[in-house]
Structure 1
Amino acid sequence: MDNDKKAFLFALSAVLLWSTVATAFKITLNYLSPLQMVTAASAVSCLVLTLVAFIQGKQAQLLLELRRMPLYYLLIGVLNPTVYYLVLFEAYSLLPASEAQPLNYTWAIALTFMAAVLLKQKIRKRDWFASALGYLGVLVIATRGDIIGLSFSNLEGVLWALLSTFLWALYWIINTKRNADSVVQLVLAFGLSLPFLWLASVWYDDWSGIPWQGWLAVSYVGLFEMGITFLLWMSAMKTATNTSLISNLIFLSPFISLILLNQIIGETIHMSTIAGLVLIITGLVFQRIRIKKKPLG
């Protein structure tokens, strides 16, 4: 099997697993609070990623990075997983997953504006057009098609979902400044955030009485939202001779996710959700298109 076929299988596996997490979020929130969910899922993910780091022989890198920049990784851990997932899970607790998940896909648009503010990058005309399409899609989903009346299904949930996109964009901007191994960065960020998450969850929540279904669901989130799936996607990006061969696969995820939400937990998928999602994806695809300029003369 050549490298591109391997990359395609890695990427497709990641996309299929990511397509299941919105359903897993809603199931888990039946048993755990958002804070408990972040804490338990982060613990599972940290354990898995630490095992991967040790299998790959990265113990020395872990210690070196921790000694070099402990405060940096502590702050990164506060941002992700702590604040980002608390905000994201709060959005999922207030909105149907079929609405929260498409809204989260606008993080790439949020990244454009965050890069312009923090990195002084220029916003291109196509970025403005893509943003207009994307946030029109948000409006369609948030109002369930009643754009003129601006009758929001749950404005608070929509605002939490949009805030999560800017937090995720901020995380990527900060994270790319540090040229370190991705697994090492995740282990340190998750590991340093866990004591604070655990203390907060013990203080605010009651861990007794959580059934095995809740533990199973949150373990699934930790494995496939934060852990293994990231490694699969990272392997695909490293293996592919041209990342464009696999990068567009990610746009399959929200549509597969809607099917799973409908079939597994019985969520009603509104036509406005599909229409809004199409607008968001169209904007993202347009933003990625490379326009070749014809030579003069």
Structure 2
Amino acid sequence: MESLPAASKANRRATSLALAAVLCWSTVASAFKLSLQYLTPLQLVSIASVVSAVFMLVAIFWQGRSAEIGASWRRNHRWYIALGFCNPFLYYLTLFHAYELLPAQQAQPLNYTWGVLLALLSVPLLKQKLRRQDLLAGLVCYTGVLVIATGGDLLGLQFDQPWGVTLALLSTLIWSCYWLLNTRIGGTAAVNLFLTCCCGLPWLAGTLLWQGWGEAWQWPPLAGWLGALYVGLFEMGIAFLLWQAAMMSCDNTARISNFIYLSPPLSLLLIALLVGEKIQLATIAGLAMILLGVAIQQGALKRLFFQRS
């Protein structure tokens, strides 16, 4: 009899943590766009990566897992070097350049398609079976991408920012490859993120030197520093640990997995309020199709139908 209240309390804690993570993720699109008013993409990812690495190191010591750092590095250092190139270096540089070119209301939903692409890439790379729902999800999801990219003019197929759209979709490919590589490592998530972040810093420093330090790095204003600090803490750190804790606290991950669908609509609301963008009808329609595609891919609609029948 005592286990029921304990389980209920754990699930309530998991729900609170998951909602807090979703709220963090909902703010980052606005933070990206506002920060890029004061920083270049290279500056933003460089400062945020340092902040994230320091935060993760503190979290690792607080969790009492500092001994795992050396052991994990000796076991998987080649993988960490590859992962660090993917994220934070290549992924965030690509994503921030997309946000620099596109309205936040377009870049954010396009980036959200990575989950469907991950499922499709798992077929050739992890030898997983291709399901009909994966193909249907891809069709629905990327139709939503076309709706957003063309401003709803599907017949005309006129892209206002084709390079920005390309970069946003390329970022989903990089992020998917990062997670596929990540499956090879195992171990503690915080330690993995710290080591990959540290391995990304030399790539960022090398790029700064290659571009010419004086030209690539102009001292940012205070607003730029605060924006990068926020991105490093919440996008690359706190939200990740909150979601991880929620998954560990919950007795059934399905209880909280659907909360992720709250993030894009909340993000659009914050983009309108904080960034001042007028949300277009094509963005709402395209986002709805992307969310539908993700729901199909994850089997959420099938579970809903099964539970009701």
Q: TM-score range by the shorter chain?
A: over 0.9
Q: Could you tell me which runs of 5 or more consecutive residues in structure 1 were left unpaired when the two chains were aligned.
A: none
Aligned to 1:137: 144
Matches of 1:106 and 1:95 in 2, distance apart?
Answer: 16
Q: 203-212 or 274-283: which moved more?
A: 203-212
Which of the residues 53, 62, 65 maps onto 2:69?
A: 62
Q: Please give the alpha-carbon distance, in whole angstroms, between the structure 1 residues aligned to 2:153 and 2:196.
A: 41
1:271 aligns to 2:281 (yes or no): yes
Residue 16 of structure 2 is aligned to residue 9 of structure 1: yes
Aligned equivalent of 2:165: 158
1:27-61: CA deviation from partner (whole Å, max 9, x where unpaired):
11111111111111000000000001111121211
Distance 2:203 2:128 in 1: 35
The offset of 1:200, in angstroms, is 2.0
1:142-291 equivalent positions in 2, closer than 5 A: 142-204=149-211, 205-289=215-299, 291=302
Q: Which has the higher helix share?
A: 2
Cα distance, 1:68 vs structure 2: 2.1
In the other structure, the counterpart of 1:74 is: 81
Q: Contact (CA 8 Å) 2:141, 2:294: kept in 1 or not?
A: yes
Distance in 2 (alpha carbons) for counterparts of 1:133 and 1:33? 34
Q: Contact 1:39–1:201 at 8 Å: present in 2 too?
A: no
The structure-2 alpha-carbon separation of the partners of 1:65 and 1:146, relative to structure 1 and needing over 3 Å to count, comes to same
* Structure 1 segment 65-144 matched on structure 2, within 5 A: 65-144=72-151
Give 1:74 shift.
Answer: 1.1
Displacement of 1:69 in angstroms is 2.4
Q: Is the 8 A contact 2:151 2:282 kept in 1?
A: yes
Map of 1:35 onto structure 2: 42
TM-superposed CA distance for 1:206, in Å, is 3.9
Q: CA separation in 2, counterparts of 1:219 and 1:201?
A: 19
What TM-score does the superposition give when structure 2 sets the normalisation length?
0.92
Displacement of 1:199 in angstroms is 3.5
Structure 1's consecutive aligned runs of 4 or more residues displaced over 6 angstroms after TM superposition are: none
User: 1:196: Cα distance to partner?
Assistant: 2.9
User: Residues 75-134 of structure 1, C-alpha deviation per residue, up to 9 Å, x if partnerless?
Assistant: 110111111111111111110010000001110111122111211212111111111100
* Aligned mates of 1:169, 1:42 — CA distance in 2: 19
One-letter code aligned to 1:7: A
SS of structure 1 residue aligned to 2:236 = coil
- Distance apart, 1:202 and its partner CA: 4.6
% identity of equivalent residues: 47
- Contact kept in structure 1, 2:11 and 2:249, CA below 8 Å: yes
Specify every segment of 5 or more residues in structure 2 that has no aligned partner in the other structure, as ranges.
1-7
Partner amino acid for 1:278?
Answer: A
C-alpha distance in 2 between matches for 1:263 and 1:57: 40
1:40-59 aligned within 5 A: 40-59=47-66
The Cα offsets for residues 248-283 of structure 1, whole Å up to 9 and x where unpaired, read as 111111101111111111112100000000001011
Query: What are the superposed Cα offsets for residues 201-229 of structure 1, whole Å, 9 maximum, x if unpaired?
Result: 25424433311000000100000000011
Residue 86 of structure 2 aligns to which amino acid in structure 1? L
| Cα distance in structure 2, aligned partners of 1:155 and 1:9 | 39
